[in-house]
Chains A and B, each alone.
Chain A
Amino acid sequence: MPSEHTRPHRFNTRLWLAGGWLLFALALALLAPWIAPHDPLAQDLLYGRLPPFWSEGAEPGLWLGTDSLGRDLLSRLIYGGRIAFMVAFAAATAACLVGSTLGLIAGYFGGWPDRIISRIVDIWMSFPPVLFAILLVAVLGTGLHSVIIAIAVIDWTRFCRVIRAEAMVQSRMDYVESARIAGFGRIGIMIKEVLPNVMPSIIALLSLEMGIAIIVEAILSFVNLSIATDDPTWGGLIAEGRLSIHQAWWVLVFPLIALFLTVLSFSQLGEGLKQRFDPILR
């Protein structure tokens, strides 16, 4: 059957493309101080709103042009990636730890722990997430820590809901029953038997959540509520670009492309990993 041969091949290509872009972007972000051609904060009003290199009026060395204050867009983009990846890794991991733990407990134990956790999830889901994030950052004060905490506080429910459902299915399986008969403790079974079986979902969700965290950070930067310093962020660049959209489209387009590719890659990576780990789909 041809479809069985083409299918894994297609998703492998996707996985490679997504992983490749993420590694490339991550490397750029990590090596920013050595790679970025200019100081991302250096202003030069004589060189304001220069177009990218292929357009007329471009200045050599300022590859992607400059913003209204004459700052080099390419350097700002590279440095912006640092914040994006930092938020992605820290916030997604924190949300994952909280959400998966609670989900595992709710799904495996059932009963009143499940009822309490599920009710809290319901309440959490009744908040518009973006508004909740903006509110939390306003309350906690702007800064990288606040952004990370806000995303974790809001998005743990994504992990909790899925892992709860999966742990519930797993805990009814025969192997859990056998472990119980063999005399293992409840918490031991949960960690040693159920957790490894829900791990593929956790990893897939983690990758998805990294993309979501980057978007939330961009949204917060967009409404000027992210990190308080002058450091460039992709969302901040987009906000500048939205203001000067009719005069300098490139200030919006390049950060948008970076955001687009990164978010798409994280979600494709998540999907790909899920399929790869899923014994039935594999």
Chain B
Amino acid sequence: MQRILIRLFTMLITLFGVAVVVFIVIRIAPGDPIAMMLPPGATDEDVARLRALYGLDKSLLEQFFVWFGGIIQGDFGTSISLRQDVLGLVLNRLPATLELSLFALLIALSIGGPLAIWGARERGTSIEAGIDIANGAALSIPDFLWGLVLILTFGVLIPVFGISGRVSPRLDLPFVSQFYLFESFFRLRFDLTKDLLSHMFMPALALALPLAAIISQLLKQSLKEVMDLDYVVLARVKGFSETQVILREALKNAALPTLTLIGVQFTFLIGGTVIIERLFSYEGIGNMAIDAVINRDLPLIQGIVLVFALLFVLVNLAVDMTYTLLNPRLRNA
């Protein structure tokens, strides 16, 4: 319990730190966003009025506390380029990014997990060596390059998947929420689910490949470490097959160290959505973030970076809590 409280406290400090850094970075930016908003004929009074409207006429410290006070109350300000409430804009796009990240995590687990088990079963053979080489390659190539390779292979060479957007534009969407994938599934509109998945598959795979390699490598390593422990040997003596031994006995204990690492790596994956969404013209917050930077839309950038930071610390907190729950040594501490 105490462990989690300390964790929550450091999480708040981290978020505050992120807010300070974003604020400072953006304020030292040359180029006046207000001047960019107004037509060329605007008078100095117009500029001053707009400055006051966005609170840019106050001192930096004042600006920070006004802005930070707003955030605590859920007021992230108004986007300069889109002239809409920042929180609303971000919440509108966030589900798309969350669905993409979770789908990518699912792909990474379903590639990495079985590979690890297979590699552990065939330890010391050329199959394991082959898995190691594949892992090494998948790890050294970042998601951006995987994305481009996938676009070329499955978008152009053998065009089976969509390479841009979240859903085909000709479909009309009956959705009330922005969680298109979940909603299409629960409304039993599998035609839409299929279309969404075909658009999501390649960006998700690009994000998933490096993570799949890490999962496979680490889980295989931990499995190999427990494979010679007494209780595993006992299960083997009882007559279980090697695969059964791994699935029934070894996996439970080997999964714990992998879990912690998946947490950190999952935050990297979420960070990767920024460029991957851009590459596949997928309408999530990452893509919106790049537009915001190009348009010098300060309030929107601040909002998006903070949402990302919040996601990161929440993932870490979730992993920490799961770890505490699953690890008997920490449960009663």
Contacts and interface: CB of A to CB of B under 8 A. Distances in A.
Contacts of A245: 151-152, 155-156
A214 to B, nearest CB: 10
Given A125-B312, A126-B309, A260 B152 contact: no
A139 B18 contact: no
Interface string A129-143: 111101110110100
A25 to B, nearest CB: 16
Interface stretch (B83-91, B172-180, B300-308): B300-308
A126 B18 contact: yes
Nearest to A139: B29
Label chain B's interface by main secondary structure.
helix
Label chain A's interface by main secondary structure.
helix
B140 A268 contact: yes
B17 A123 contact: yes
B14 A123 contact: yes
Given A138-B293, A138-B296, A215-B145, A242 B312 contact: no
B290 interface: yes
Contacts of A138: 29, 293-294, 296
Give the contact-size bracket for chain B: 35 or more
B290 A264 contact: no
B286 A131 contact: yes
Interface residues of A, number: 42
A218 B144 CA distance: 9
Interface string B6-39: 0000100111011001000110111000000000
Interface string B241-276: 000000000000000000000000001001111110
A115 to B, nearest CB: 11
A127 B141 contact: no
A38 to B, nearest CB: 25
B90 to A, nearest CB: 13
Contact of B148 (A120, A135, A238): A238
Interface of B: 10, 13-15, 17-18, 21, 25-26, 28-30, 136-137, 139-142, 144-145, 148-149, 151-152, 155-156, 267, 270-275, 278-279, 286, 289-290, 293-294, 296, 301, 304-305, 308-309, 312-313
Given A122-B17, A128-B272, A242-B279, 13 more contacts: A119-B13, A119-B17, A122-B10, A127-B305, A127-B308, A131-B304, A223-B278, A245-B155, A249-B152, A256-B145, A260-B149, A263-B142, A267-B140
23 contacts: A119-B10, A119-B14, A122-B10, A125-B312, A126-B17, A127-B271, A128-B270, A128-B271, A128-B308, A129-B271, A134-B274, A134-B290, A139-B26, A139-B28, A141-B30, A215-B145, A222-B275, A222-B278, A249-B156, A260-B145, A267-B140, A268-B140, A271-B136
